[in-house]
Structure 1
Amino acid sequence: MTDTAVLGQRAPERQREPAPPRRTGIPAGLLRTARPRQWIKNVLVVAAPAAAGELFAWHTLSRLALVFVLFTACAAAVYLVNDARDAEADRAHPVKRHRPVAAGQVPVPVAYAVGGALGVVAPVVAAWLCPPAVAALLTAYLAMQLAYCISLKHVLVVDLAVVTTGFLMRAMIGGLALGIPLSRWFLITTGFGALFMVSAKRYSEAVQMAEKAGATRALLTEYTTGYLRFVWQLAAGVAVLGYCLWAMEEGGVPHTSVLPWRQLSMVAFILAVLRYAVFADRGTAGEPEDVVLRDRALALIGVVWVAMYGLAVANW
């Protein structure tokens, strides 16, 4: 009866997404292919300026807005090229066949053309309006992600490293755009925090794969759930250690604030990692943005952490 019930739930879902309403034109299809829901990840561009306490100057905000747009354009370029390249395979997939390129809403040549244009324009604009390091990082990001689409996503461990590096690049680019030195502890915490979320997502997919055979990436069959669990647990531990060392090091300087907010923020950070680990352990840590936005407790912990760190920066 369970199988029947599940099948009974899936059929109506497919009926809610009929083909005619979704074929609203090429521009709408291109926008969907660019994955607007994924753009929230690019908010990481504010990480380095926020960590340095240099976030609220007008010059800073305008430069970060530009960097956000440029990084979003690069990410969209990768999605467009990826979907164009995988169109034939996606048509045989129960979920991916509804993507605009696979469904025929966006012709493959158009997806390639728009993706290529975005991939060229974004670094050129960055070279014109931003420090050279920004254009270099965007170019490196594009090269790495395109290599991932073509072959690296099929290589064990390397696929985890590439996706993690993509998050780390997002966190670094804000500092590079503003000439802010990047702390080694900041890089360690951000890098391993990203690896924690990426490996937790892979672990969740691997756990669910047995129930939904064929509905996830083939590479997961090469990983064991035990290995992926080891990776996310290791990454979580290193991220927490890196943050604590960073907070204690920075907090060692004299301050006039009422409380040592920077050190106290360690509590919120550790609670956030432990809360996220609950979903990882259950095998329900899918898209990081979905986990963070849908869990009220995790969102509240995040707000508390931001408040504590803001008070530390303001030296209140």
Structure 2
Amino acid sequence: MTEAAPLANGARSQETALLDQRPPERTPAPPAQRTPATVLVGLLRTARPKQWVKNLLVVAAPAAAGELFTRPAIPRLAAVFVLFTACAAAVYLVNDARDADADRAHPAKRHRPVAAGQVPVPLAYAVGGVLGVLAPAAAAWLVSPAVAALLTAYLGMQLAYCVSLKRVLVVDLVVVTTGFLMRAVSGGLALGIPLSRWFLITTGFGALFMVAAKRYSEAVQMAGKAGATRALLTEYTTGYLRFVWQLAAGVAVLGYCMWALEEGGLPHTSVLPWRQLSMVAFVLAVLRYAVFADRGAAGEPEDVVLRDRPLAVIGLVWLAMYGLAVANW
């Protein structure tokens, strides 16, 4: 008994020492103090201002038809841009409110305003709902019923994506791609411009190329790591995603070349055949973008273009040739 007491005391002291060496438990940070100003800033951050550049696709169809700078085009396209931005913001708000609990456990997403407590969840739902109702209604009044129907379909599709479609293989890629295509189509609907089949093919598969390249890059970067940021990222193989972006790039190039070689029965009167020459710049841009996709470094499309100077220069050259072709100079 007398020998057992020192042993027991030694075991307790060793256990106490081990407990003292444990790192302190992390307690969740208290929610930031809310003021009207901080809530407004949080709502703006939740609307993802960096993503608004995607809505510039609304000018694609009018630019292709040579009607971008006509008097009725500018106010209508500005309205469509604002309304599409409002619809996208509504989706982001609802999505972040719905995923607030899961985002709080994520190392990066926990800093989002809704997850961090800067924006109350009920307020995010309310603002998202108001924007989702007002944007199509304003489109029917300011632009056209066709654009209002398109925005309604966009909202329905994106909300379905947030709830369930983002967990369905292939369908998730199609939904994100369709969102880009809807932006490009909306400008044509706003001005009553007939949309060329080659325009739709090039825009649709060009968007799929960038979406699949981004997914491929995420899969490459997350290979062998835990904690994928997307629900389906671990179910796609890198080989399959590589096949998708390569297929999409090929179809996009083919569609653009068919547009460039189709004169529509009218001989060009410009100094040079800009439509045909623009194929060179377009193909070079796709090949340059594919370099980053192949490396697994193709993140957000706007980041890839702006951070790579050669790609930006090629894009400007293509834009100049495209503009000259449309203007028939």
Stretch of structure 1 that moved more, 56-65 or 139-148: 56-65
Q: How far off its partner does 1:312 sit?
A: 1.2
Q: Specify the structure having the higher radius of gyration (Cα).
A: 2
Q: How far off its partner does 1:218 sit?
A: 2.7
Q: Which runs of 5+ in 2 are unaligned?
A: 1-29
* 2:247 aligned with 1:213: no
* 2:190 aligned with 1:190: no
Q: Per the alignment, in what secondary structure is the counterpart of residue 221 of structure 1?
A: coil
Q: 2:89 aligns with which of 67, 70, 76?
A: 76
- Whole-Å Cα distance in 2 between the matches of residues 252 and 297 of structure 1? 35
Q: CA RMSD in A?
A: 1.6
Say which structure is richer in helix: 1
Matches within 5 A, 1:232-271: 232-250=245-263, 253-271=266-284
- Whole-Å Cα distance in 1 between the matches of residues 137 and 238 of structure 2? 42
Matches within 5 A, 1:20-31: 25-31=38-44
CA contact (8 A) 1:251 1:263 kept: no
Give the corresponding residue for 1:9.
none
Give the corresponding residue for 2:138.
125
Q: How far off its partner does 1:252 sit?
A: 5.6
* 2:183 aligned with 1:149: no
Give the corresponding residue for 1:13.
none
- Alpha carbons of 1:22 and 1:220: their partners in 2 closer, same or farther (altered >3 Å)? farther
Give the corresponding residue for 2:325.
312
- Whole-Å Cα distance in 2 between the matches of residues 222 and 89 of structure 1? 20
Q: In the alignment, residue 294 of structure 1 is paired with which amino acid?
A: R
- Whole-Å Cα distance in 2 between the matches of residues 109 and 255 of structure 1? 58
Q: 1:37 aligns with which of 50, 59, 65?
A: 50
Q: Per the alignment, in what secondary structure is the counterpart of residue 218 of structure 1?
A: coil
* 2:56 aligned with 1:56: no
- Whole-Å Cα distance in 2 between the matches of residues 19 and 266 of structure 1? 53
Q: How far off its partner does 1:156 sit?
A: 0.2
Q: How far off its partner does 1:132 sit?
A: 1.2
Q: How far off its partner does 1:135 sit?
A: 0.3
Stretch of structure 1 that moved more, 19-28 or 145-154: 19-28
TM-score, scaled to structure 1: 0.92
Q: How far off its partner does 1:19 sit?
A: 8.3
The alignment covers a number of residue pairs equal to: 299
Give the corresponding residue for 1:290.
303
Q: Percent identity?
A: 85
- Whole-Å Cα distance in 2 between the matches of residues 154 and 257 of structure 1? 50
- Whole-Å Cα distance in 2 between the matches of residues 306 and 312 of structure 1? 10
CA contact (8 A) 2:31 2:117 kept: no
- Whole-Å Cα distance in 1 between the matches of residues 76 and 263 of structure 2? 26
Give the corresponding residue for 2:107.
94
Q: Per the alignment, in what secondary structure is the counterpart of residue 269 of structure 1?
A: helix
Give a deviation string over 1:36-74, Cα, whole Å, max 9, x none: 000000000000000111111121111100000000000
- Alpha carbons of 1:251 and 1:301: their partners in 2 closer, same or farther (altered >3 Å)? farther
Give the corresponding residue for 1:274.
287
- Alpha carbons of 1:21 and 1:252: their partners in 2 closer, same or farther (altered >3 Å)? farther
Q: Per the alignment, in what secondary structure is the counterpart of residue 283 of structure 2?
A: helix
- Whole-Å Cα distance in 2 between the matches of residues 97 and 50 of structure 1? 40
Q: In the alignment, residue 174 of structure 2 is paired with which amino acid?
A: A
Q: How far off its partner does 1:109 sit?
A: 0.2
Q: 4+ runs of 1 displaced by more than 6 Å?
A: 18-23
* 2:165 aligned with 1:168: no
Q: In the alignment, residue 308 of structure 1 is paired with which amino acid?
A: M
CA contact (8 A) 1:167 1:191 kept: yes
Q: In the alignment, residue 47 of structure 2 is paired with which amino acid?
A: A
- Whole-Å Cα distance in 2 between the matches of residues 212 and 306 of structure 1? 40
Q: How far off its partner does 1:250 sit?
A: 3.2
Give the corresponding residue for 1:301.
314
- Whole-Å Cα distance in 1 between the matches of residues 204 and 159 of structure 2? 21
- Whole-Å Cα distance in 2 between the matches of residues 103 and 166 of structure 1? 28
